[in-house]
Amino acid sequence: MTKEEVNGATEDEQQAQSKKALKKQQKEAEKAAKKAEKQAKLAAEQQSADEDDFAKDRYGLSAMVQSQQKLDRVLVRVQDLTPEKVDQLIWLRARVHTSRAKGKQCFLVLRQQQFNVQALVAVGDRASKQMVKFAANITKESIVDVEAMVRKVEQKIESCSQQDVELHIERIFVISQAEPRLPLQLEDAVRPDGEGEEEGRATVNQDTRLDNRVIDLRTTTSQAIFRLQSGVCQLFRDTLTNKGFVEIQTPKIISAASEGGANVFTVSYFKSSAYLAQSPQLYKQMCICADFDKVFCVGPVFRAEDSNTHRHLTEFVGLDIEMAFNYHYHEVIESITDTMVQIFKGLRDNFQTEIQTVNKQFPSEPFKFLEPTLRLEYTEALAMLREAGVEMGDEDDLSTPNEKLLGRLVKEKYDTDFYVLDKYPLAVRPFYTMPDPTNPKYSNSYDMFMRGEEILSGAQRIHDAQLLTERAQHHQIDLEKIKSYIDSFRYGAPPHGGGGIGLERVCMLYLGLHNVRQTSMFPRDPKRLTP
Amino acid sequence: MALRELASLEKYLGLKKPNKYSTQGDKKVPVLQNNNAPPLVGLVTIACHLAKEAKRPELLGDGAEGRAVVQQWLEYRVTKLDGHAKEDTRSILKDLNLYLQDKVYLAGNQFTLADVLMYYGIHAIVLDLAVQEKEQYVNVARWFDHIQHHPGVRHHLPPVVVLRNRLYTSRHH
């Protein structure tokens, strides 16, 4: 091709282009004109429609509730919408979970906590066209007050928790409007891993969930998890109270670290520094020395370990027990295991709905336990592990993989997800642990495991000031700093033992979840301080 | 490594007089110096020679097909298994696990030289597997356990524990 030809070609092209562009402009102008016309028409229609909207008092944005009136209105709970309520006119406050408009009708799913119900606005003598349109345009997650007739449905509504009825809306008012764009979709957040992958549906990753925790907590799964968690606390309190325990409150700002100085948070305390308590250990023991006999304590516990694992948090809720016993620390073990069993039973009997809900998103086998609880000694556990080909020294601590493997071996042999491992090597336990009387290499200490992961660490404590001093020195602890603790054993101290459980871990392992952040409402870890 | 393997193989075959081997090249390819014949080079070549010398031709496979399968696995051993990249370990185990699903031995129902050399070659991998992984590659583990207990095969290698019970039965957790 010669240069000229090239030029010619481009000129032609340019001409063609400009022609095209001209046409395009024209078209656009036409389009815009049409649009404007349409809009004007629409607006006119709207106006005339508004004027003759017979239902305009039946819907709208409600004024901000500033407590200006006390209405005599009874708001029915979504969970109470059963066939018994059929043909009743009721009021209800709920969130708009989803809405779907279809011609002259608009279907809404109204949600209240983990319950939801289908509602319908249809053009008729109660609702106008404009009202249906308004209902369809309510943003997801907005809170609405609804007056509706409860109607029986012929076919069960599979997607809702209230399957036998639907609501025929007669009035609908928005109490609180949500912004149109949500940071995450609730349906995406409850989708089980792997499901809907073919359709290219999204799941929400953990960090996004936690960044928008308020919305994530609205999901049925989260609702169920934290209801169950509340149940754990309540069962813990009820069981121990029935056993004659006293609930105590202990300070969280303390002057010395209770178990080794490495993993404590230091806070500035006026002109000196203080620590955040790693456990209420010292205080619950002092309560024993003060004749409280059996105590427990539910409260925050802090660990400054920089470990970013699925089961470590820097702040968690500790359920702590300490009790005086008569002759053998197994009395303590029995008391704690019985408490745990009561919790498991309570959850199994009273929280089946919650368990099923969580299972839908995170499937797991039902939690199994024995009565009385299985107690293995450390040496037996080592033998089981060695038989499975694990090489371990007699006084080595259990590594996490070995802990999990042991859990599997125990499950296979005894069919239980909960067991006690007794008689740990003294070397791997804190200084206040009572040595074993027959073999000084071992100790009167124990861990408890759920699904192969540790949930409780406990022991008989040294209640003799002299021995306690020796052991503290052996661990190279500054005696000055723990003087008040040691002194409390000088004026008569009963033999005692106890243990501490992590609430989040218990919930996680009971439900067979894989990350402790799922069972912590606002988790704290080395990388997360908000929300 | 290869030399210890050959020594163990000799013992398994019941050869009275141990041979003297040398190695050649960077990869330490074993060489067998024969008194009245040219030297034999390479693990598989020497191993086949030893089997013939011990008058155990059945170890090389029965029939044309059997012999071909044995040769194929011997070749797999020295080309795919030896010196494989670390990230290929899983796929090797996966393939082998699938292959062994319906077989007692590599060549079907008959114990051959392929089983011995594959066992020697894969030993280090299986030794490193966690209990859960051995359960994941259950057919490999079963075959491996069978071979390591085959009379006279194991010799220089430590036994590997293979559990007979399934611990990780469910998909979840």
DSSP string for A323-338: EE-SS-THHHHHHHHH
Cα A495 from Cα A437, distance rounded (Å) = 14
Number of independent structural domains in chain B = 1
Known catalytic residue: A191? no
Known catalytic residue: A408? no
Chain A residue with CA closest to B159: the answer is A389
CATH of the domain at A87: 2.40.50.140
CATH of the domain at A350: 3.30.930.10
Residues A91 and A200 placed together within one structural domain of the fold: no
Report yes or no on A340 lying in a domain. yes
Which residue of the set A147, A305, A334, A377 is catalytic?
Answer: A305
Size (chain A), residues: 531
Residues A332 and A246 placed together within one structural domain of the fold: yes
Number of independent structural domains in chain A = 3
Q: What is the pLDDT of residue B173?
A: 42
Domain that holds residue B73: 1-149
Residues A435 and A507 placed together within one structural domain of the fold: yes
Residues A202 and A284 placed together within one structural domain of the fold: no
Known catalytic residue: A386? no
CATH of the domain at B127: 1.20.1050.10
Report yes or no on A33 lying in a domain. no
Distances (CA, A) of A175 to A68, A77, A93, A144, B43: 14, 17, 9, 5, 82
Cα B172 from Cα A192, distance rounded (Å) = 12
Asked if residue A396 lies in contact with residue A442, where contact means CB atoms within 8 angstroms, the answer is no
Give the gap in angstroms from C-alpha B155 to the nearest C-alpha of chain A.
Answer: 19
Known catalytic residue: A474? no
Amino acid at A304: A
Residues A352 and A368 placed together within one structural domain of the fold: yes
The continuous run of DSSP H or E covering A220 comes out as helix A220-242
Least confident span in A138-142, A195-199, A406-410: A195-199
Residues A425 and A279 placed together within one structural domain of the fold: yes
Residue A511 has pLDDT above 60, yes or no: yes
> Given an 8 Å threshold on Cβ–Cβ distance, is A512 in contact with B173?
yes
Cα A527 from Cα B58, distance rounded (Å) = 64
Report yes or no on B159 lying in a domain. no
Report yes or no on A39 lying in a domain. no
Residues A423 and A315 placed together within one structural domain of the fold: yes
- Please report, for chain A, how many H helices and E strands are present, in that order: 14, 18
Residue A237 has which token pair?
């309190």
> Given an 8 Å threshold on Cβ–Cβ distance, is B172 in contact with A363?
yes
Q: What is the pLDDT of residue A7?
A: 54
Q: Residue A34's pLDDT band (boundaries 50, 70, 90)?
A: confident
Q: What is the mean pLDDT of residues A242-256?
A: 93
Asked if residue A444 lies in contact with residue A476, where contact means CB atoms within 8 angstroms, the answer is no
Domain that holds residue A411: 221-518
Report yes or no on A64 lying in a domain. no
Residues A444 and A487 placed together within one structural domain of the fold: yes
Question: Which pLDDT tens digit goes with each residue over A252-311?
Answer: 998 876 655 568 899 999 999 899 998 898 899 999 999 999 999 999 999 998 889 998
Residues A156 and A304 placed together within one structural domain of the fold: no
ipTM for the complex shown: 0.76
Give the gap in angstroms from C-alpha A128 to the nearest C-alpha of chain B.
Answer: 51
At B23 the three-state DSSP class reads strand
Q: To 5 degrees, how large is the angle CA A411–CA A414–CA A420?
A: 80
Residues A252 and A332 placed together within one structural domain of the fold: yes
Q: What is the pLDDT of residue B35?
A: 74
> Given an 8 Å threshold on Cβ–Cβ distance, is A408 in contact with B167?
yes
CA A126 to chain centre: 42
Question: Which pLDDT tens digit goes with each residue over A53-70?
Answer: 788 889 999 999 999 999
Residues A354 and A407 placed together within one structural domain of the fold: yes
Q: How many CB atoms neighbour CB A149 within 10 A?
A: 16
Cα A276 from Cα A253, distance rounded (Å) = 5
Q: What are phi and psi of A319, to 5 degrees?
A: -105, 105
Report yes or no on B84 lying in a domain. yes
Residues A256 and A129 placed together within one structural domain of the fold: no
Report yes or no on A46 lying in a domain. no
Report yes or no on B172 lying in a domain. no
Report yes or no on A29 lying in a domain. no
Buried residues in A507-531 as b, exposed as e (16+ CB within 10 A): bbbbbbbbebbbbbeebbbeebeee
Report yes or no on B169 lying in a domain. no
Q: Count how many Cα atoms sit within 13 Å of the Cα of residue B161 in the half-sphere of its side chain.
A: 13
Report yes or no on B165 lying in a domain. no
At A219 the three-state DSSP class reads coil
Task: Name residues of chain B where pLDDT drops below 70.
Answer: 170-173
Residue A407 has which token pair?
């859990």
Q: What is the mean pLDDT of residues A416-421?
A: 97
Report yes or no on A387 lying in a domain. yes
Report yes or no on A9 lying in a domain. no
Distances (CA, A) of A120 to A156, A171, B167: 15, 11, 51
